[in-house]
């Protein structure tokens, strides 16, 4: 087995004292950065990129990859504890992670997130080790039609299984899609929806601004109202004891199906350039709900709802390194920066990297195994601290969250425009919630919209406006058909329900 030999050489590199130290420091830093709402792996990697010039390239990529990994673990922390996704990859984790925390099970949710991340990370690194070249080929032939089919599938897994009020869900999606269309349209080269000629809209609306707005600020407003009405939530019931942890682990084992599915799905979506970890995690959540025996539990604190997206986003973050290394195409915004780093270190990503830079590639792969274990241990060690924070009185916690939200909104673009926008979304989000509109579909739409729209228009442009292109290609046709079936499921449900109601009335 040539691969095993190479992997052993890789471990020899990854376990050198300097590199091992870098892995541990990187994971810990990443965990903290990921846990801060708004500061995701993208910012962490970008900020720390220049520091890596102090160590050799292999050490540098190991450090940044560990940071990336740590941030994936950390993203779940703010999703669960505060209900604010720390990064787009952790959006799906809020759906059930937050309810679990509100029910006093924050410890269980955090342990589930950590172990699921570990499983997803490990499975994907193993896949990476043995199947990199053939998968690189799949990533290469994936064109615009396939990309669109995949995005549609991501939508469909959600909508098809969506909330109780289909009309409100669709309304919410539409709002998200409109917001995602703001900014420059690359297909026509013209700016769109530049409200009141404010230059900040040229950049478009960042997903994080919307997510922090409605989940952070909106959620806080909501909690203030709730706390006044009920006199405090059950949130502080969570504690870390050996007995509770063991019970939690047993329960998490029961969600193995969701974890396994999330890992594979996340990895395969991750290797496709442009998709990245966010659609992977969202799809994993949707599929987990579909295969669950008790789908009604989802959104109300289902453990599978934490396990599936968390295993998927870690698997996808490993997966997205594949197109970066073999094609020189970043699979996610974070790998785009890593790619920049590689160029600066004098490495040329591309099909030849695996041949010419064996030490670098295998050192990195081996370090992913080590980073995974390090991140798990560090994360578990920190859980009591997180729980302690959660027990702070809400009157103290709320202002801290508010400040974190403002920083999180400002940090990525350093523009006050985004901060105001975020506050606005927070208020609108709160009102929508009062009116019982689901907010998750809007967030989903603003994440997937900018990926789906150009892919759709590119495909149609190539094929002179005919939709047949989606059904005539070997990869896009099956994905498209599954997506359409899932998409029309609620419509069929709606019609069937109407008919039933009529019959009942008659």
Partner 1 sequence: MRRLVKTTFGVGMTFGLALTAVVGVAQNKAFAAADWKPKKPVQFVVMAGKGGGADKAVRLIQSIIAKNKMAPYAFTPVNKPGGSGAEALVYMKQKNGDDHTIMFTLNSFYTTPLRQPGLGIDITTFTPIARMAEDTFLLWVNSDRKDINNIDDFVKAAKAKGKAWIMAGTGKNSEDNLLTDFLNKAYGLEMKYVPYKGGGKVAKQLAGNNADSTVNNPSEQLGFYEAGKTKALAAFTPKRLPLFPDAPTFKELGKDFVYFMQRTVVGAPGMSAGAAAYYQKLFTKVFNTPEWQKYRTKKSLQGDLLVGDGLMAYWKNEREVHRQMLIKMGVIKS
DSSP track, 392-411: S-HHHHHHHHHHHHHHHHHT
Nearer to partner 1 by Cβ, of 162 and 273: the residue is: 273
Which lies closer to partner 1 via its Cβ, residue 49 or residue 398? 49
Q: Which residue has the tokens 């709002």?
A: 175
Residue 325 beta carbon to partner 1: minimum distance, rounded to whole angstroms? 10
Q: Which is nearer to partner 1, 104 or 340 (CB)?
A: 340
Backbone angles phi, psi at 184, to 5 degrees: -75, 135
Q: Which is nearer to partner 1, 116 or 325 (CB)?
A: 325
As a whole number of angstroms, the distance between CA 66 and CA 144 comes to 31
Which residue, 100 or 322, is less far from partner 1 as judged by CB? 322
Beta-carbon contacts of residue 427 (< 8 Å; ≥ 6 apart):
217, 218, 221
Closer CB to partner 1, residue 164 or residue 464? Answer: 464
Q: Shortest approach of partner 1 to residue 274 CB, angstroms? A: 7
Write the DSSP assignment of 39-104 as a string of letters. Answer: --HHHHHHHHGGGGGGS-HHHHHHHHHHHHHHHHHHHHHHHHHTS--SSGGGHHHHHHHHHHHHTT
Nearer to partner 1, 75 or 273 (CB): 273
Closest contact distance (angstroms) between CB of 329 and partner 1 is 5
- CA 121/CA 219 separation, integer angstroms: 30
Helix (H) or strand (E) holding 219: helix 218-230
Q: Is there a contact between 121 and 368 (Cβ–Cβ < 8 Å)?
A: yes
**Contact partners, residue 147, CB within 8 Å, separation at least 6:** 272, 274, 275, 451, 452, 455
301 touches 99 (CB < 8 A): yes
Least separation in angstroms between residue 192's CB and partner 1 is 10
Per the CB < 8 A criterion, the answer to whether 324 and 368 are in contact is no
CA distance 56 to 188: 44
State the Cα–Cα distance between residues 500 and 489, nearest whole angstrom.
16
CB of 143 to partner 1, least distance (A): 3
Going by C-alpha positions, the residue among 489, 79, 87 that lies closest to residue 289 is 489
CB of 348 to partner 1, least distance (A): 6
Please tell me the distance from the alpha carbon of residue 335 to that of residue 341, in angstroms, as a whole number: 9
Residue 121 CB, shortest distance to partner 1, in Å, is 23
| Residue with Cβ nearer partner 1 (15 or 136) | 136
Dihedrals phi, psi of 357, to nearest 5 degrees: -120, 55
- Considering the complex, what minimum distance in angstroms separates the CB of residue 337 from partner 1? 6
| Cβ(454)–Cβ(143) below 8 Å | no
Nearer to partner 1, 50 or 384 (CB): 50
Nearest distance, CB of residue 60 and partner 1, angstroms? 11
Across the strands, what pairs with 36?
none
**Closest CB 450 distance from partner 1, rounded Å:** 9
Closer CB to partner 1, 167 or 355, in the complex: 355
Q: Minimum distance between the CB of residue 498 and partner 1, rounded to whole angstroms?
A: 42
Nearer to partner 1, 374 or 451 (CB): 451
Binding residues for partner 1, rule: CB under 8 A, are 42, 46, 49-50, 53, 140-144, 183-191, 194, 199-204, 273-274, 327-330, 333, 336-337, 339-341, 343-344, 346, 348-353, 413-414, 454, 458, 461-462, 464
């Amino acid at each position: 087995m040539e691969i095993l030999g190479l992997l052993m050489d890789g471990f020899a590199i990854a376990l050198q004292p300097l590199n091992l130290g870098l892995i541990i420091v990187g994971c810990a830093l990443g965990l903290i950065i990921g846990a801060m709402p708004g500061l995701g792996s993208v910012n962490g990697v970008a900020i720390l990129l220049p520091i890596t010039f102090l160590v050799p390239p292999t050490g540098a990529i190991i450090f940044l990859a560990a940071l990336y990994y740590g941030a994936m673990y950390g993203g779940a922390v703010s999703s669960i504890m505060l209900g604010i996704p720390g990064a787009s990859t952790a959006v799906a984790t809020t759906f059930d992670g937050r309810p679990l925390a509100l029910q006093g099970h924050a410890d269980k949710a955090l342990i589930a997130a950590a172990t699921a991340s570990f499983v997803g990370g490990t499975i994907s690194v193993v896949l990476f080790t043995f199947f990199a070249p053939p998968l690189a080929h799949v990533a290469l032939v994936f064109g615009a039609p396939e990309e669109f089919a995949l995005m549609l599938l991501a939508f469909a897994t959600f909508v098809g299984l969506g909330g109780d009020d289909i009309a409100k869900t669709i309304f919410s999606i539409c709002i998200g899609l409109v917001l995602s269309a703001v900014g420059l349209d690359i297909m026509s080269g013209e700016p769109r929806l530049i409200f009141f000629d404010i230059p900040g809209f040229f950049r478009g609306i960042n997903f994080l601004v919307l997510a922090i707005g409605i989940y952070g600020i909106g959620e806080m407003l909501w909690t203030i109202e709730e706390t006044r009405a009920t006199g405090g939530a059950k949130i502080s019931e969570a504690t870390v004891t050996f007995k509770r942890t063991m019970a939690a682990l047993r329960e998490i084992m029961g969600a193995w199906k969701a974890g396994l599915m999330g890992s594979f799905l996340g990895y395969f979506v991750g290797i496709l350039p442009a998709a990245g970890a966010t659609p992977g995690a969202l799809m994993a959540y949707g599929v987990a709900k579909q295969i669950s025996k008790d789908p009604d539990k989802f959104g109300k604190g289902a453990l599978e709802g934490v396990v599936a997206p968390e295993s998927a986003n870690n698997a996808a973050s490993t997966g997205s390194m594949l197109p970066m290394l073999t094609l020189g195409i970043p699979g996610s915004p974070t790998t785009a920066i890593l790619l920049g780093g590689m160029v600066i270190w004098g490495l040329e990503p591309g099909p030849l990297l695996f041949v010419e830079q064996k030490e670098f590639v295998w050192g990195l792969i081996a370090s992913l195994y080590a980073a995974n274990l390090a991140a798990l241990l560090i994360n578990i060690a920190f859980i009591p601290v997180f729980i302690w924070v959660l027990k702070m009185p809400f009157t103290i916690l709320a202002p801290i969250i508010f400040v974190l939200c403002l920083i999180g909104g400002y940090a990525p673009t350093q523009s006050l425009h985004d901060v105001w926008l975020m506050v606005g979304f927070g208020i609108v989000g709160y009102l929508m919630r009062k009116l019982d509109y689901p907010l998750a579909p809007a967030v989903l739409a603003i994440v997937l919209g900018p990926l789906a729209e150009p892919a759709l228009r590119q495909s149609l442009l190539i094929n002179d406006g005919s939709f047949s292109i989606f059904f005539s290609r070997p990869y896009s046709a099956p994905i498209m058909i599954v997506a359409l079936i899932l998409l029309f499921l609620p419509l069929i449900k709606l019609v069937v329900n109407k008919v039933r109601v009529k019959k009942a009335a008659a």
